[in-house]
Amino acid sequence: DGGITQSPKYLFRKEGQNVTLSCEQNLNHDAMYWYRQDPGQGLRLIYYSQIVNDFQKGDIAEGYSVSREKKESFPLTVTSAQKNPTAFYLCASSIGGQTGRLHFGNGTRLTVT
């Protein structure tokens, strides 16, 4: 079955450490996205990529970095510069363009202490 795989489901890190969240899709989608979700909140866009080797900042990109070296992969690094990194992180993909349905993974819950 086609889909989006995020790993791991739970991740624990000490403050000051960088951590990379994995996102892989086998839907052959061009566009990929990272969202952050805090308790009781909606989804806020961190970064997105419309094609390989290109990505743009979303609304809350500070303290995060991404790469898009392969079509199927869009890893997110949460750096030590991110002031409040504890959150639920969701990766999504879509066929591309400026409209279209996003398909989501099941998220990674990151806890930083």
Binding site for other proteins (CB under 8 A): 4, 6, 33, 35, 40-45, 48, 50, 56, 58, 90, 92, 98-107, 109
CB nearer to other proteins: pick between 17 and 51? 51
Of 21, 17, 20, the closest CA to residue 5 belongs to 21
Report, in Å, the least distance between residue 16 CB and other proteins. Answer: 27
Report, in Å, the least distance between residue 100 CB and other proteins. Answer: 8
Report, in Å, the least distance between residue 82 CB and other proteins. Answer: 20
Tokens 């409209």 locate to 99
Beta-ladder partners of 89: 36, 108
Structure-block tokens of residue 113: 């202490």
Angle formed at CA 11 by CA 90 and CA 15, multiple of 5 degrees: 105
CB nearer to other proteins: pick between 56 and 111? 56
